[in-house]
Structure 1
Amino acid sequence: MPLRRSHTKSRKGCLECKRRHVKCDEGIPKCTLCKKRKLECRYPHPNEGEDSPMASSSAQDETESGTVTPPRDFPLATRLLETRLFHQYLTSTYHTLSRDGLSAHHLSMTIPRMAASCPYLLDSIHAFSALHLASVETDNRASWLDHAVRYQSQACAGLSKVLPEMSPQDYEPAFVSSIIIMLFAIGSRVLSLEARPLDPLLVVLEARTLISGPAMLFSRIKEGGIDAQLDGWLCAPDTQESLESGKNDQDIMTSLARLHSIIDTRKGSDQPTYCATWQQLQQAIEPWPKIGPHGGPLAWPLFLSDKFSSLLQHGDWIARVLFLHYGVAMRLLCHRWYVRDWGRRLVWATLQQLDEIPQDWEETISWIRRAAARED
């Protein structure tokens, strides 16, 4: 009777190799088989396959307590992936954030140390690093995006468990994680492989919701009187963008000045809303190429009022023109990998919704079109 040939089963391999019942070499971001056959390579969650009651109970207890202890048989693919992502953050990704007016020391030293005892912060770092890799390794973009989305989901789930009963010690890691989650939301739209129609106002209101989280936590940090590890991290007023001041930002300020003159002549109940929105936009752009204390164009959605949103939804032309200036202002950030042409896309999507342009606004809209189309 012939001996039955033994077969080593890949218990920690990718889902495609499991489906085909073949040995997986657990390559990152793609195993050899998936790379050769040009297949989407996805790995199961680290806890999948741990079927014992003890493992399930342990995982549940760890999730509820907000801490995670790696299982003894931690999948090799996951270990390699997370090492690669953390290495990417420490050697490359954090440098891209330090240009935003954030302390490079805190980004490279304090925050990684904080993440070592905070799973949701670590997950947010892994997610953002995977997204960064998706932007530079275009051949593997789909795989990196898949990893990025899974870690982002874990980060959001972990943060949501902490928020209801947050202690002062949680403020700083939650603040950093919420900042990274917000930047991820912007970057994932820019890098997404899906070409979905864009609702500009909805997108900006979603950004307002995301930014409100870090803003609330930052207020708690300032009011808490605790020994802040992030003291000096937000040094935006003293940090200059690597992109030098140019014609585009000067043109925006000139156009905003003309718009302010028009707003001054529009008396009525909506004028205070116009004035407040204009001032917030001017404060976001005027310090350029410095970020400024108000967070620059990226933070402008935080200050949008519901009244302004309502005016925009009802086709108010001053509200439309103010919003379009925000899209042009976002073009100033086009050299950041997680922003790129986001400002241009907002402008085009808004212009597509416009009906006949009133004669009074034709010159302004014509300038906005040229500014959005300009190659920087």
Structure 2
Amino acid sequence: MQQDSPLTEATPIPRGESFQSSGDPSPSDHSGKGASRRSKITRKSHRKSRAGCVNCKSRRIKCDEGKPFCAHCKRRQVRCEYPATTATSTAGLGVMDPKEPGGLPISEIELTYHWITTTCHSFSSWPIGVARIQALTEEIAMKNEHVLHLMFAFTALHLAVCRPDRKEHYTATADHHYKRALALVTPEIAGLNPDNCDAVLQSVQLICFVGWARGPQAGEYLAFGKHGRSDWLVMFRGIRTTLNTFERDGFTKTHAPNTRSKGRLLPPSDGPFEYEKQLRELKEHIEFVSEDFDRDDNVDSVVVLQEMYSNRYGGKDEDYHIAFGWLYRMSDEFLERLQRCDLLPLIIYAHFVVLMHDMEKFWYMKGWTCHVMSGIYEALPTEHKTYISWPMASVGWIAP
């Protein structure tokens, strides 16, 4: 579709008329100056507006500045926003008035519908778990806009996966809601208190899910990054920071009810081939090669990992996401060394990735297991790559 342009049309010249006046030179004198004058007077002037909407500015097209939606945004059925002014109004934000003819927020209605009917069901393996998460999230979102925007961002990314022909549109929608959410939740985190702690915790958790839902990113391996700090890990650790700010019972809507409730357990399974033997050998190797100053930290990380394997395959976990409790329980020192790509933390992390593999049944975890394993393999020196042979085989990843 041809984009609208601010370029103007040439002014038509009636037949038989000329640009001459009584004091003008004859047509024979127009060869140079006349052509210049014609080009000047055939350009129609227009008012250059700086108040157009954000979408039109980014597309470099003329905006009619219609409120609450300009003509272009209304035709494309996308959210219309105007640059912030000192007196921000509902119309300036592009919020549709339900009473405005043709002003229904189509995008938000679509996201709400798919959140309720599909997306929220991917948070748990059990219907009761889905019902609990859905009711809690929606209750908090109605009073906290940052949670609502994260719900929309997560759902938009789900639609981007399900409808690849419109991936660009849904990804842009997700980015819009994610940025709005971060702008709103950041001051809430800075001013964390008993009144907003449940909403902040819910948002921080949703931010981690949005990070997964964006899919594997080059150089980003969840617990470490190719060039240093992992942004996803910073947000994940924010869950623990939030919970440690107050007594756990202070989170009356989120953490406290979840710890008291009893849910259906995952069925026991055999697990990866000889995983108990493999983890024992890993622990012995870590004890032997660790330096004195970090031996206890390294061994503790393997002990916690053994517990996670036992709970997962012994039928003690309520859901697959609980495996990330290993990462949650790791010390700051261990995670700092992991982000520096130290040898032993990388090897231990590779054994944790096996537990992640079971989570690929959820759409937002697709591709992450092999992506993270490839990052670990690349970061390890050649002579130490053999120590992750068992994790690689367990998830079915083959080195290039």
**Aligned residue in 2 for 1:216:** 241
Of the candidates 88, 94, 102, which is equivalent to residue 55 of structure 1?
88
Please report the RMSD computed on the Cα atoms of aligned residues, expressed in angstroms.
4.0
Please say if residues 120 and 155 of structure 1, whose CA atoms lie closer than 8 Å, have aligned partners that are also in contact: yes
Give, in angstroms, the shift of residue 82 of structure 1.
Answer: 0.8
Give, in angstroms, the shift of residue 278 of structure 1.
Answer: 0.9
Structure 2: tracts of 5 or more residues without a match: 1-51, 65-70
Please say if residues 153 and 174 of structure 2, whose CA atoms lie closer than 8 Å, have aligned partners that are also in contact: yes
Pair 345,21 (structure 1): closer, same or farther in 2 beyond 3 Å: same
Pair 297,202 (structure 1): closer, same or farther in 2 beyond 3 Å: same
Superposition TM-score, scaled by structure 2 size = 0.69
Please say if residues 13 and 77 of structure 1, whose CA atoms lie closer than 8 Å, have aligned partners that are also in contact: no
Q: Say how many residue pairs are matched.
A: 333
Please say if residues 249 and 255 of structure 2, whose CA atoms lie closer than 8 Å, have aligned partners that are also in contact: no
Greater helix share, 1 or 2?
1
Q: 1:166 corresponds to which letter in structure 2? A: L
Superposition TM-score, scaled by structure 1 size = 0.73
Cα deviation, 1:94-135, whole Å, max 9, x if unaligned, reads 111132898333323232122112111111111111111112
* Structure 1 Cα separation of the partners of residues 94 and 251 of structure 2: 28
1:67-78 matches, cutoff 5 A:
70=95, 72=97
Give, in angstroms, the shift of residue 198 of structure 1.
Answer: 4.2
* Structure 1 Cα separation of the partners of residues 309 and 262 of structure 2: 13
Of the candidates 281, 306, 315, which is equivalent to residue 282 of structure 1?
306
1:1-376 matches, cutoff 5 A:
15=56, 19=61, 24=72, 26=74, 43-44=78-79, 46-48=80-82, 54-55=87-88, 70=95, 72=97, 79-99=105-125, 103-190=129-216, 196-198=218-220, 201-203=223-225, 205-220=230-245, 222-223=247-248, 225=250, 227-228=252-253, 231-233=256-258, 238-241=263-266, 245-248=269-272, 250-266=273-289, 268-288=292-312, 291=317, 296-309=322-335, 311-312=337-338, 316-358=342-384, 362=386, 364-373=387-396
* Structure 2 Cα separation of the partners of residues 186 and 24 of structure 1: 33
* Structure 2 Cα separation of the partners of residues 354 and 225 of structure 1: 43
* Structure 2 Cα separation of the partners of residues 298 and 102 of structure 1: 21
* Structure 2 Cα separation of the partners of residues 55 and 314 of structure 1: 45
Q: 2:297 corresponds to which letter in structure 1? A: T
Q: Which of 1 and 2 has greater Rg?
A: 2
Give, in angstroms, the shift of residue 319 of structure 1.
Answer: 2.7
Structure 1: tracts of 5 or more residues without a match: 1-10, 32-42, 61-67
* Structure 1 Cα separation of the partners of residues 59 and 289 of structure 2: 66
Pair 59,262 (structure 1): closer, same or farther in 2 beyond 3 Å: farther
Give, in angstroms, the shift of residue 154 of structure 1.
Answer: 0.9
* Structure 2 Cα separation of the partners of residues 76 and 299 of structure 1: 48
* Structure 2 Cα separation of the partners of residues 176 and 75 of structure 1: 35
Please say if residues 328 and 372 of structure 1, whose CA atoms lie closer than 8 Å, have aligned partners that are also in contact: yes
* Structure 2 Cα separation of the partners of residues 179 and 100 of structure 1: 19
Q: Alignment partner of 2:209: what SS?
A: helix
Pair 201,208 (structure 1): closer, same or farther in 2 beyond 3 Å: closer
Structure of higher RCO (CA pairs closer than 8 Å, 6+ residues apart): 1
